[in-house]
């Protein structure tokens, strides 16, 4: 097979006496984790190659782009849309602050779409430059593993390039799943939702996780009629139950129609749109149906089983604590391993990989006290244990402190939407082991709280911290009274 670079010129031929591999590291997948691992490994002196599919806002088996899901069709463009959708409510709220607005305010979806595309193209270019400046060789094409130390890259014209590497890192991320129901091809996933040519008027969203809740908020903020269907009693399974209820209440307060304990059974194209039938006997009509029922590891085209890489039942790559597969030269980070599927976690895993393999400092990723955010409107953010997790894991009593209040802004605007904050404390050690907030700027507040929780701060230390006034964040250091105390023996279970 040909041995030439698609991008960045020719590969220099290695000195056989020094190294019989073309690369010290070859990375398949240039998303957040892959780019971080490639750059940091190169900074340690490794000779690194990386391959990625050609850029396109909507991913497929033949299209992707440097930057990956988060940058191109995930977190970043999603957050841009959240900002846009938030303005709808802000404009309404501004009237009581003295702003005289015309009754009709137009929203130009195509202008936003154009600006969003400009931004992800800019970021795509930045990621390419980051790799190039680190000395990483970039290949454009589909990569697969053909041996413990050999990868094959198929270019757009079908030409196959073969390279050897001492280590190979799999960082191909995940893909949106589709349910096996009649008419599912009429629906879209989050990829397409971020790039719709026309903004619909009616949307049905299926799923109870991050993506479904966030898009419900986005589309409702842009004026759509939104129906959100999910299997459990509350959305956001796995989060603190009390905070889930707050999110659900806020979604309904913003005008989103919730359909708990509901799954779709069929989609049918009609003259009026898409007819959606549920297992509760409901019939809904929509211009667009978004499927957000989860994501699956992107491993099908990598030839992993043929070379003996162990996968779990979901198709995820099995790895040890250092992100190594059962084959010593093959490694994996990010969503493709289905550990904790968050972009910052993929970055952490990639950093640890580079330290372990090329930095001479074996380092395990630390999944304890990872802060997360759901960018609903208003957002939810948490760090540490939920109340349910704390009760389940506790050796002693748990103290729960909560604060529910009307933000100052809402007292003027008249918006009926409470902010809720919560601290979960190990009563025996006084350590704060969990913190949650649902309200404006929650992710910005919790990022700071996460440092304290990670450092093992006690409730007494929280209480001794002077608050910033007036701010919502000061509530975290002024919650003096215990809302409830749960004895170690009392462990309520939930199936919400």
Range with lowest mean pLDDT among 102-106, 210-214, 311-315: 102-106
Question: Tens digits of per-residue pLDDT, 275-296?
Answer: 999 999 999 999 999 999 999 9
* Residues contacting 364, CB < 8 A, separation 6+: 321, 322, 352
Q: Quick check: is 364 in a domain? A: no
pLDDT at site 58? 85
Whole-number Å distance between alpha carbons of 120 and 330: 31
Question: Are 168 and 185 members of one domain?
Answer: no
Give residue 493's pLDDT band: very low, low, confident or very high (50, 70, 90).
low
CA dihedral 300, 302, 308, 310 (to 10 degrees): -50
Question: Tens digits of per-residue pLDDT, 436-466?
Answer: 999 999 999 999 999 999 999 999 999 999 9
Give residue 207's pLDDT band: very low, low, confident or very high (50, 70, 90).
very high
DSSP state of 464: T
Mean pLDDT of the chain: 93
Considering the chain, what percentage of its residues have pLDDT values greater than 90? 90
**C-beta separation of 37 from 169 below 8 A:** yes
Say whether pLDDT at 15 is over 70.
no
Domain end among 358, 391, 410: 358
Whole-number Å distance between alpha carbons of 372 and 385: 11
Question: Are 154 and 66 members of one domain?
Answer: yes
Question: Are 288 and 432 members of one domain?
Answer: no
Any idea what the CATH number is for the domain that residue 416 is in? 3.30.390.30
Question: Are 436 and 303 members of one domain?
Answer: no
Say whether pLDDT at 340 is over 90.
yes
What's the rounded mean pLDDT across residues 188-213?
Answer: 96
Q: Is residue 380 classed as helix, strand or coil in its secondary structure?
A: strand
Question: Are 43 and 129 members of one domain?
Answer: yes
What is the domain count for the chain? Answer: 3
Question: Tens digits of per-residue pLDDT, 29-71?
Answer: 999 999 999 999 999 999 999 999 999 888 888 889 999 999 9
Whole-number Å distance between alpha carbons of 229 and 344: 29
pLDDT at site 60? 83
Q: Quick check: is 418 in a domain? A: yes
Query: Which are the catalytic amino acids?
Result: 469
Say whether pLDDT at 7 is over 70.
no
Q: Quick check: is 450 in a domain? A: yes
Question: Tens digits of per-residue pLDDT, 352-366?
Answer: 999 999 999 999 999
Q: Quick check: is 10 in a domain? A: no
Question: Are 171 and 36 members of one domain?
Answer: yes
Give residue 12's pLDDT band: very low, low, confident or very high (50, 70, 90).
very low
pLDDT at site 102? 81
Question: Are 258 and 315 members of one domain?
Answer: no
For helices 75-94 and 109-133, what crossing angle results, to 10°? 140
Give residue 5's pLDDT band: very low, low, confident or very high (50, 70, 90).
very low
pLDDT at site 14? 39
Say whether pLDDT at 373 is over 90.
yes
* Residues contacting 257, CB < 8 A, separation 6+: 225, 226, 227, 228
Question: Are 275 and 258 members of one domain?
Answer: yes
pTM: 0.93
Question: Tens digits of per-residue pLDDT, 129-186?
Answer: 999 999 999 999 999 999 999 999 999 899 999 999 999 999 999 999 999 999 999 9
Question: Are 169 and 183 members of one domain?
Answer: no
Give residue 193's pLDDT band: very low, low, confident or very high (50, 70, 90).
very high
pLDDT at site 19? 63
Question: Are 288 and 416 members of one domain?
Answer: no
Q: Which amino acids are annotated as binding site, given as ranges? A: 79, 143, 172-174, 207-214, 294, 335
Q: Quick check: is 11 in a domain? A: no
Question: Are 234 and 205 members of one domain?
Answer: yes
Q: Quick check: is 257 in a domain? A: yes
Whole-number Å distance between alpha carbons of 446 and 344: 15
Backbone angles phi, psi at 482, to 5 degrees: -70, 125
Any idea what the CATH number is for the domain that residue 199 is in? 3.50.50.60
Q: Quick check: is 12 in a domain? A: no
Q: Would you call 287 exposed, middle or buried from its count of C-beta atoms within 10 A (0-12, 13-18, 19+)?
A: middle
Rg of the chain, C-alpha, whole Å: 24
Cβ of 162: how many Cβ atoms within 10 Å?
14
pLDDT at site 18? 46
What's the rounded mean pLDDT across residues 226-255?
Answer: 98
Domain end among 277, 292, 307: 292
pLDDT at site 399? 97
Say whether pLDDT at 2 is over 80.
no
Say whether pLDDT at 198 is over 80.
yes
Q: Quick check: is 491 in a domain? A: no
Question: Are 328 and 207 members of one domain?
Answer: no
Range with lowest mean pLDDT among 64-78, 321-335, 481-495: 481-495
Domain end among 244, 261, 292: 292
Q: Residue 411's domain spans which residues?
A: 371-484
């Amino acid at each position: 097979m040909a041995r030439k670079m698609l991008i960045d010129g020719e590969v220099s031929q290695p000195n056989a006496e020094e190294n019989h591999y073309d690369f010290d590291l070859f990375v398949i997948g240039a998303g957040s984790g892959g780019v971080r691992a490639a750059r940091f490994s190169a900074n340690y002196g490794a000779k690194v190659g990386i391959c990625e599919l050609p850029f396109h806002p909507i991913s497929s088996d033949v299209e992707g782009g440097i930057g990956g899901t988060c940058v191109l069709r995930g977190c970043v463009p999603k957050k841009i849309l959240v900002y846009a959708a938030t303005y709808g409510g802000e404009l309404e709220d501004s009237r009581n602050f003295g702003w005289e607005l015309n009754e009709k305010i137009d929203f130009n979806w195509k202008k936003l779409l154009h600006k969003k595309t400009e931004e992800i193209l800019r970021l795509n270019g930045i990621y390419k430059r980051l790799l190039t400046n680190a000395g990483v060789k970039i290949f454009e094409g589909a990569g697969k593993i053909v041996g413990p130390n050999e990868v094959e890259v198929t270019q757009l014209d079908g030409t196959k390039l073969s390279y050897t590497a001492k280590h190979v890192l799999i960082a191909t991320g995940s893909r949106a799943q589709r349910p096996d129901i009649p008419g599912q091809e009429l629906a879209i996933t989050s990829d397409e939702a971020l790039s719709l040519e026309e903004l619909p008027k009616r949307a049905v969203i299926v799923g109870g996780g991050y993506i479904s809740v966030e898009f419900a908020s986005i589309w409702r903020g842009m004026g759509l009629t939104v129906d959100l269907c999910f299997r459990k009693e509350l959305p956001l399974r796995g989060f603190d139950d009390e905070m889930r209820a707050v999110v659900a209440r806020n979604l309904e307060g913003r005008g989103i129609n919730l359909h708990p304990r509901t799954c779709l059974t069929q989609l049918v194209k009609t003259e009026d749109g898409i007819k959606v039938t549920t297992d509760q006997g409901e019939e809904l009509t929509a211009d667009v149906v978004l499927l957000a029922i989860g994501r699956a590891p992107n491993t099908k085209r990598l030839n992993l089983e043929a070379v003996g890489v162990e996968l779990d039942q979901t198709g995820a790559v099995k790895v040890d604590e250092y992100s190594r597969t059962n084959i010593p030269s093959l490694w994996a980070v990010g969503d493709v391993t289905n550990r904790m599927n968050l972009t910052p976690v993929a970055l952490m895993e990639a950093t640890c990989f580079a330290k372990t393999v090329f930095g001479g400092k074996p380092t395990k990723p630390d999944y304890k006290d990872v802060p997360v955010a759901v960018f609903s409107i208003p957002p939810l953010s948490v760090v540490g244990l939920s109340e349910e997790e704390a009760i389940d894991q506790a050796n002693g009593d748990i103290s729960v402190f909560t604060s529910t209040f009307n933000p100052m802004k809402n007292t003027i605007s008249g918006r009926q939407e409470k902010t809720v904050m919560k601290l979960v404390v190990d009563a025996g050690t006084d350590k704060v082991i969990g913190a949650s907030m649902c309200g404006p700027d929650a992710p910005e507040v919790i990022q700071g709280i996460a440092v304290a929780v990670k450092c093992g701060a006690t409730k007494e230390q929280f209480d001794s911290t002077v608050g910033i006034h007036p701010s919502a964040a000061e509530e975290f250091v002024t919650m003096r009274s215990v809302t409830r105390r749960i004895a170690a023996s009392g462990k309520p279970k939930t199936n919400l």
